[in-house]
Every structure is written in structure tokens, then in C-alpha cells.
Amino acid sequence: MQTELSQTLGIEHAVFGFTPFPAVAAAISRAGGFGVLGAVRYTAPDELKRDLDWIEAHVGGRPYGLDVVMPAKKVEGVTEADVEAMIPEGHRQFVRDTLARHGVPELAQDEASGWRITGWMEQVARSQLDVAFDYPIRLLANALGSPPADVVARAHDRDVLVAALAGSARHAEKHRDAGIDVVVAQGYEAGGHTGEIASMVLTPEVVDAVAPLPVLAAGGIGSGQQVAAALALGAQGVWLGSLWLTTTEADLGSPALTRKLLAAGSGDTVRSRALTGKPARQLRTEWTDAWDDPAGPGTLPMPLQGLLVAEAVSRIQKYEIDALLGTPVGQIVGRMNRERSVQAVFDDLTRGFEEAVDRVNRVAGRSGPS
């Protein structure tokens, strides 16, 4: 699964794996792909440094990258306390009532309430980059549009490629004009924040819009046959995120959540604003149903919604309240029906890719090895 981009980065397979877990990122790179560590959960530079040290020790000298969440435009002087003060009391009561209805216990008084919006704030992302640029990362990806121009320049000064996610050809063109090196065309089927256009339509549109920039296809990809299809549409690789959630190296911290993912079908996700305030594909649960119910108060815009539900999500996860327990995941969850190692995933991807190429060769009247 070689392309010009994979050759530039020195990887065996044009498979880019986004993951919040250092062990998964390192395993992806060792298997011949390109592991990309998600940084949004690191609110302290020392925590990111610790995990990058771990990756360096376990990646076997293979290349890897980092994914940050950084807005292109900076908002000055806004603190987390300022944002929290904007949350209506009625929404807070709705959260309390929903948790009480499902018997969700409180956290201990000295227990942290889990992920908040801190990792989405620009100053935090910049502190992450101050750490990351001391390591030999080869790619910096941004999940919230093009990063600021000075960040792009800083990466290029270090020979680091910059990637950005796009949900439309128009967004992709903005990335190209901002000096981005790689565009990730993320289709409607993808887990997490995603747009309205399906991958089969989006990928060739983006490829044509930004040529000759390399494009990675994302959304609904979890087999070698789908990798072959993405390359046939003009992509120079694939960007996979959901597929790694049920690998043996992943650490979801919840056996119940792993069981739910393994049991879910491709129709068991929903694109909901319940988690962050922006449409994000995730497992459908009674939690997402409550927020999407017209009888409820409705979700708040980002970042208010994420701050509002942070403690509630922590409680649901800690106590594994099955009816409410979910996670961002794409429609490919229907294929994630057994736990496998990252290497086993790659073995299946490469085998399926070879079968797909052989099948196309036969259709085209060609024969012989792919």
C-alpha cells in the first residue's frame, strides 16, 4: 500500500492511524503505518512529554505524528471560568435530572471531573507544540481547521508536514491556501466531528480541488478493500480512527464500553451535538436521545456544551451506566466485532487490499500478482 506520500514519510503502508493512546500509536508505526497521537486530552505539558518519551522508546525508530485542536483565530482574554458563567441554569438542571433518573452516583469530592474544554484552548495547544517540537515528529495534524500561520511556519521550519481535516471541497481549498501540506477528507461516516458529505462523494471532490496536494480519505474505512477504493478515488492514503478503539493495545478504561462497541452495528451511531455542541458521530445512547429530544432544552454551542457535560460524562464512564455509556465512533463500528492487536488489523488490511487489487485486475483483463 505504497503511495508518493508514504514514500516521503518512509512508511510501508499508506495507513495513518489517529488515536488518543500512546501504545496504539506506537503499534501502528511499528506495523508499517503512521501513528498519530491525539493531544487534546493533555492539559499539562509534562503529561504529553511523558507519553512522547514512551512512544520514542517503543516506536522502533519509525515515524509518527501529533494531532492537536487549535482554532485558526485567537480569542483574547477568555478563561474557562468566563465560559462556564455563560451556561444557563436550566441546562445544568437538565443534566442533574437526567443523571438522577438513571441513578448515576456522584464523584468523590476530591475526584477530578475528567475532560473539560481546556485542551481546546489555543494556549494549551501551543504549550503542547512547545513540547512536541522537541521530538522528531514528522506530521502535525489539526482537527479544527487550518492552524494559525505562525504554527504552520514553525512546523515547516522543522521539516514537519502539516495536515488538516476537511468536510467539503471548500474547506479543503482554504487549507491549501493556508499552506497546508496534507488534506484529510473526512466523510459523514466518520467518528467524532464530521460534516454532511459521504466519503465516496467527498474524497474525489477534495482530490480534484487541491491537486497536486496529497489527500487522505477518512470516514467509514476499516478494511483493505476500502483502502483500495480510497486510493482508486485519488487519495494517497487513509486516515483511520475508530478502528483502533477495540484493539488490544487500546485503553478505554471501561470493559462495558468495549463490549458495547463490539456489539454495535453500523446503524447504532448518531450524529449528535450532545458531547461538544458541534455535530459529532458517536454511539447512540439514552444520553444522546435525551439531548436530541425536541422536548428537552437542546444543546449549547461549542465550547459551552462540552464544559456543561464534562462531569456528567466522567460519572457515566466511571460507573459504567450502560444506558448512557457511549463514545465517539464512526459507522465502521459494525465491522469492529472482535478484539485484535494492531498488527492483526494491519494483516487484515493488507490481505484485503491485495484481494481487492487482484479482483480489479481480473475485471480489467489483467492477471498475475498485484
Q: How far, in Å, CA of 342 to CA of 26, rounded? A: 10
**Given this model, what pLDDT does residue 76 score?**
57
Local structure of 173: helix, strand or coil: helix
Q: Which residues pair with 164 in a beta bridge?
A: 142, 183
**Given this model, what pLDDT does residue 124 score?**
79
Q: What tens digit of pLDDT does each residue of 127-167 get?
A: 999 999 999 999 999 987 888 999 999 999 999 999 999 99
For the whole model, what pTM was predicted? 0.93
Measured CA distances, 28 to 3, 205, 217, 250, 348 (Å): 17, 28, 17, 11, 13
pLDDT tens for the chain, 370 residues: list them.
899 999 999 999 999 999 999 999 999 999 999 999 999 888 889 999 999 999 999 999 999 999 998 765 555 556 667 778 899 999 999 999 999 999 999 988 777 665 555 555 677 788 999 999 999 999 999 987 888 999 999 999 999 999 999 999 999 999 999 999 999 999 999 999 999 999 999 999 999 999 999 999 999 999 999 999 999 999 999 999 999 999 999 999 899 999 999 999 999 999 999 998 999 999 999 999 999 999 999 999 887 898 899 899 999 999 999 999 999 999 999 999 999 999 999 999 999 999 999 999 999 998 655 4
Residues 6+ apart with CB under 8 A from 194: 167, 186, 187, 188, 219, 271, 279, 280, 281, 330
Distance, CA of 18 to chain centre: 6
Cis preceding-peptide flag for 148 (omega within 30 of 0): no
**Given this model, what pLDDT does residue 370 score?**
46
Q: What tens digit of pLDDT does each residue of 167-226 get?
A: 999 999 999 999 999 999 999 999 999 999 999 999 999 999 999 999 999 999 999 999
Q: How far, in Å, CA of 347 to CA of 8, rounded? A: 23
Q: In which residue are the cell numbers 489539526 written?
A: 142
